[in-house]
């Protein structure tokens, strides 16, 4: 089930990105856009305990296989989720205790390659720019070579699953989802800071998450 959800999320990213011919360069340094959704029937005050792994699921088309994020980056991000949950009155429990809420953290990275083709004319002269010397200006007929570039778009997803009522409903139902979408920077520290800020915004958007 988890693999199916990860594949589905990755396919959504591929579909969205494949429709984008060229990157909006103004977005390359922008922060994540934060969106949240909830199950309108869920009673968040009825939950008491929660569990979240200290690792983050990682899906990318740039890696040979799906893997996990661990270490300082995961500690900072998962730590922020725990701080938000604790501040709302919930209590973290470790394995093998059964929590009321199971949280998943998933990072998705989509690496894309684009090509910029120069125009076929320059200042009215076909083929390329002009070269000027003592006798005048002359067009250069060899076209300019294309420029290839890469950019990364990333999503970070946090999911709440209702473990408490799973024996009654017969399924593990998600009751809240936060999606942080944006262009990744070239440094891990910046990406971690953006993710932490996005998590804070997601909880700020969701005052109903309260014991």
For residue 129 the two structure tokens come to 């720019």
- Is it true that domain 2-7+51-115+149-204 has CATH number 3.30.160.670? yes
pLDDT tens for residues 47-80? 999 999 999 988 887 755 568 889 999 999 999 9
For helices 72-87 and 188-204, give the axis angle rounded to 10 degrees.
10
Distances (CA, A) of 151 to 106, 111, 123, 198: 20, 6, 31, 20
Compute the distance between CA of residue 136 and CA of residue 138 in angstroms, rounded to an integer.
7
pLDDT tens sequence across 117-154: 544 443 344 444 444 544 455 444 444 455 555 656 78
pTM score above 0.75: no
DSSP H or E run through 175 = strand 173-183
Where do the structural domains in the chain lie, given as residue ranges? 2-7+51-115+149-204
Rounded CA-CA distance 199/178 in Å is 8
- At 206, the pLDDT band (50, 70, 90 cuts) reads very high
In this structure, what DSSP letter does residue 71 have? S
Owner of token pair 């932490």: 196
């Amino acid at each position: 089930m988890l693999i199916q959800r990860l594949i589905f999320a990755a396919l959504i990213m591929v579909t969205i990105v494949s429709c984008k011919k060229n990157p909006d360069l103004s977005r390359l340094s922008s922060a994540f856009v934060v969106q949240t959704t909830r199950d309108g029937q869920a009673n968040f005050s009825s939950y008491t305990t929660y569990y979240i792994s200290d690792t983050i699921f990682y899906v990318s088309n740039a890696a040979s296989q799906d893997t996990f994020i661990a270490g300082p980056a995961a500690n900072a991000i998962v730590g922020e989720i725990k701080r938000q949950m604790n501040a709302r009155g919930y209590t973290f429990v470790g394995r093998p205790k059964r929590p009321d809420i199971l949280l998943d953290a998933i990072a998705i990275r989509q690496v894309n390659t684009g090509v910029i083709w120069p125009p076929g004319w320059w200042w009215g002269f076909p083929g390329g720019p002009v070269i000027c010397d003592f006798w005048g200006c002359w067009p250069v007929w060899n076209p300019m070579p294309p420029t290839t570039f890469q950019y990364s778009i990333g999503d970070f997803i946090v999911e709440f699953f209702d473990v408490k009522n799973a024996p009654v409903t017969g399924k593990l139902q998600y009751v809240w989802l936060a999606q942080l979408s944006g262009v990744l920077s070239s440094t891990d520290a910046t990406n971690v800071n953006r993710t932490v800020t996005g998590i804070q915004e997601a909880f700020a958007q969701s005052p109903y998450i309260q014991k």
